[in-house]
Amino acid sequence: MQFTIQIPDIYFVNERKQNVEKQIKLYIALMMFQSGQVSAGAACEIAGIDRYTFIEKCQQYNIPVINFNVGEIKDEMQQDITLPK
């Protein structure tokens, strides 16, 4: 899928078009990941970056990479764990 966004050049006087395009892709990927619309792997593809860089960017923008809710954690803790002999 391809989108075209019209942004007046006045807002990017000192930026190269390629850098702006990369930033926009990153922001889209981060927001889609944060909202749960895509997985981390899909977000990496959208942004065109590797998983380690994506995790760094999530940290930079305070986006949790692992997001468990309290109920899930409680359920995991209450499950009986049987270790193999």
- pLDDT for res 43: 97
Helix (H, G, I), strand (E, B) or coil at 18: helix
Confidence of residue 84 (pLDDT cuts 50, 70, 90): low
Please, are residues 49 and 57 in contact by the beta-carbon 8 Å criterion?
A: yes
State pTM to two decimals.
0.73
What confidence score (pLDDT) does residue 6 get? 87
